[in-house]
Amino acid sequence: MLSTGAIVTNAYRAGIVVPAFNVPYLPMVKPVVDAVVDLDSFALLEVARIEWLKFECRGPAAVMEEFARWSAPDHVRLHLDHIPVIDEDGMAVDYMPILREAIDLGFHSVMVDGSLLDLRGNIEATRRVADLAHAKGIACEAELGAIAREGTGPQLPYEELYRTGMGFTSAEDAGRFVQETGCDWLSVAVGNIHGAVSAALKDRKKTEARLNLEHLDRLRQAAGIPLVLHGGSGVRRDDLLAAVKRGITKVNVGFEIRQAYEQALGASGGDVSAARDAVYQRTSWLLRDYFGAAGTSSMVAGGGLR
């Protein structure tokens, strides 16, 4: 069985997207896995620290336990998303124990986010985690640049953020960062934004983002490894497909399937089966009609590409 790192490398070389679906509620795990299997796709299922602090997935152990019930390794692997060194509230996080726990539980890849540190600090933190992950034979994702989160803190309007390139990942820094950290995948900022997590904004449509493809070309050349797009919900489809041909391989989707779950749960009076069905339908649509990723499992996970 190929490692997750080898699968993502296969996808990178072939220009095939690997969707990564965040599950802030445990009942979302089964419908996501079912949709990926039914469409013969390959995807990651993932959970971030913010999702067990602000939602109901409870943490890495609970997610791993639920994931193991529906495990389909030819189609879905488990990734630990966004473990920050400095969190969304500006607080220092004891991040290494969280990452060690996930690795010991059997997560197939992990992410450390040192993007709120200076470059040197981010390099040092990422190198520690990459060394830890590689010792266990798994891939390490990192982040460089400033990806805004919708609805948090004072922000420029989206169009101004995009026009100025504020927070975009530096190509010069990306080359140095990859070389000095040994990370396997790099999350970059090229116009993408994270979805809102506040209750006040959870039902609002996410801002449609577009991607600076010329800058992405520079990042691919500088980094030379699979690139990751966080905040995949709401990105213009043409931009997304063009980005995949320019090195974006893993694309995170959280807001879109979380909103489907929450809205169906509310409309049905708390019927979890209805909420699960909504997640299945939305995930299926994303795989088939947005990503065009139906039938990719054998292409990237079956060992046909190396």
- The catalytic residue positions are 81
Q: Got the DSSP string for 52-87?
A: HHHSS---HHHHHHHHHHT--TTTEEEEEEEEESB-
- Cα separation, 288 vs 22, in Å, equals 18
Give the pLDDT confidence score for residue 305 in this predicted structure: 39
* Residue 163 CB-density burial (10 A; 0-12 exposed, 13-18 middle, 19+ buried): exposed
pTM: 0.92
Classify the C-alpha dihedral 193-209-28-39 as positive or negative. negative
CB proximity list for 4: less than 8 A, separation 6 or greater: 44, 77, 79, 108, 109, 138, 139
Give the pLDDT confidence score for residue 193 in this predicted structure: 82
Give the pLDDT confidence score for residue 155 in this predicted structure: 63
Distances (CA, A) of 57 to 48, 130, 167: 10, 26, 30
Give the pLDDT confidence score for residue 198 in this predicted structure: 45
Give the pLDDT confidence score for residue 200 in this predicted structure: 47
Q: One digit per residue, pLDDT tens: the chain, 306 residues?
A: 899 999 999 999 999 999 999 999 999 999 999 999 999 999 999 999 999 999 999 999 999 999 999 999 999 999 999 999 999 889 999 999 999 999 999 999 999 999 999 999 999 999 999 999 999 999 999 999 987 765 554 466 777 777 887 889 999 999 999 999 999 999 999 988 865 544 544 555 657 788 999 999 999 999 999 999 998 777 889 999 999 999 999 999 999 999 999 999 999 999 999 999 999 999 999 999 999 999 999 999 985 433
Give the pLDDT confidence score for residue 197 in this predicted structure: 46
* Residue 149 CB-density burial (10 A; 0-12 exposed, 13-18 middle, 19+ buried): middle
Record the tokens describing residue 74, joined without a space.
Answer: 């030819």
Q: What values do phi and psi take at 167, rounded to 5?
A: 85, -5
Give the pLDDT confidence score for residue 260 in this predicted structure: 97
Give the pLDDT confidence score for residue 304 in this predicted structure: 44
- Give me the CATH code for the 4-301 domain, please: 3.20.20.70
For the chain, which residues make up each domain, given as ranges?
4-301
